[in-house]
Amino acid sequence: MKVEILGVGCAKCNKLEETVKDLVSKHGIDAEVSKVEDLKVFARYGVFMTPALVVNGEVKVAGKVPKETEILNWLSA
């Protein structure tokens, strides 16, 4: 599972990254978590609100920090 957090350096984006990494390690999910700051990638995904969370190439949320339960849902699917 490939998890990407899209964001260009702001508190919310960093928080999302931390939260995701936390959840991944706490629940032992097999996922590669990376932070993407390249605008070209944002544009390719059609994301124009950060922070955004992309799981396996699919944009799950953009523009806000989702709740932990929501994140967990997407990670477990």
Partner 1 sequence: MTIQSNSKQEYMATGSDSRATEPPALLGTGAEAEFGPQATSVPFWTNSFRSKIMYLFSGAVLLAAWWLVYGNLSSFSRLITYHMLPLREGTHLGSTVEFFIFEVPKVLLLLTLIVFGVGIIRSYFTPERTRKILAGSRESAGHVLAALLGVVTPFCSCSAVPLFMGFLTAGVPLGVTFSFLVSAPMVNEVALVLLFGLFGWQVAALYMGTGLFIALVTGFVISRLRMERHLEDWVLELTSSKPEASQLRIEDEHMDWDDRVQFGIDAVKEIVLKVWPYVTIGIAVGAGIHGYVPENFLAGIMGKEAWWAVPVAVIIGIPMYSNAAGIIPVVQALLSKGAAFGTVLAFMMAVIAISTPEAIILRKVLKPRLIGVFIGVVTVGIIFVGYLFNIVL
Supply the residues annotated as catalytic. 10, 13
3-state secondary structure of 32: strand
Among residue numbers 26 through 55, which ones bind partner 1 (CB under 8 A)?
39-40, 42-51
Start-to-end C-alpha separation, the chain: 10
With CB under 8 A, what is the number of residues at the site for partner 1?
Answer: 22
CB 17 within 8 A of CB 53: no
**Spatial separation of the C-alpha atoms in residues 43 and 25, rounded to whole Å:** 29
Is the CB of residue 34 less than 8 Å from the CB of residue 5? yes
Q: Residue 16 CB, nearest distance to partner 1 (Å)?
A: 11
Q: Does 63 bind partner 1 (CB under 8 A)?
A: yes
Q: Does 62 bind partner 1 (CB under 8 A)?
A: yes
Among 2, 10, 34, 76, binds partner 1 (CB under 8 A): 10
Residues that bind partner 1 in the complex, under the rule CB under 8 A: 7-10, 12-13, 39-40, 42-51, 59, 61-63
